[in-house]
Amino acid sequence: MVQVYKALNEIVIYKQRIPVMVLPRRLSIYIWLFMCFLAVADCLAATAHDSNPASAIATIDRVLTAWRHGDAHALAELYEADGDFVSPTGVHAVGRLAIEGFYRAAFTNGYEGSDASAKILQSRIISLDIMLVDGEWTITPTAASRITQAEAGLFVAVLHRRDGVWYITALREQSSATTFVKL
């Protein structure tokens, strides 16, 4: 981000002092105004850049697709290398290998073939490359799965964009509540 301010006899840009004593006073004011314009333009560009959360939320859709295919590896690849997951029962998996192992065990224990859905309740852009997503999740038994009861709860996901791709940094699921209650 561009940081510009005018001291008595200098302009400071990115912590570098540029003397303007040799410039006529009117020209130094124009330079200062131009630098202020650049700073404002930089701030506006930063907030406008990918302010639509759709590309980040598409990561949640890829989680659901991988779940429906029973693909533990594809699920784990949606996480950052050091990402972590906490299940509704408190199981904490850190790193892609552990996360893949968790999902593989879940699919082996009857969840393979079940249907999963998620509803985004709210998303919040923390910075250009960090997003917080809150939502509801459900897992529904199907004829192909061995689970017999539907499950539901809330989730919180922290997503991080790296090289233009959104990854899950942290995912927390719980089942003690199934919807938000706004105060």
Q: In sequence order, what are the beta bridge partners of 151? A: 139
Q: Does residue 151 register a pLDDT over 70?
A: yes
| pTM score over 0.75 | no
Residue 44 lies in a domain: yes
Residues 61, 139: one domain? yes
Residues 78, 167: one domain? yes
Total length of the chain: 183
- Grade residue 111 by pLDDT with cuts at 50, 70 and 90: very high
Residue 182 lies in a domain: no
Q: Does residue 17 register a pLDDT over 70?
A: no
Q: What integer is the mean pLDDT of 106-111?
A: 97
pLDDT digits (tens, 9 = 90+) for 19-77: 545 445 555 555 545 554 544 444 444 444 444 578 888 999 999 999 999 999 999 99
- The residue written with tokens 């706004």 in the block is 182
Residues 160, 86: one domain? yes
d(CA 78, CA 169): 9
d(CA 31, CA 20): 9
What are 91's two structure tokens? Answer: 């199981």
pLDDT of 51: 46
How many domains is the chain partitioned into structurally? 2
CATH code of 95's domain? 3.10.450.50
Q: Does residue 169 register a pLDDT over 90?
A: yes
d(CA 60, CA 76): 12
Residue 181 lies in a domain: no
The DSSP output letter for 5 is: E
Residues 81, 119: one domain? yes
Residue 180 lies in a domain: no
pLDDT of 61: 94
Please calculate the CA angle 118-121-126 and round it to the nearest 5 degrees.
Answer: 110
Residues 72, 131: one domain? yes
Residues 36, 78: one domain? no
d(CA 50, CA 34): 26
Q: What is the domain range of residue 154? A: 54-174
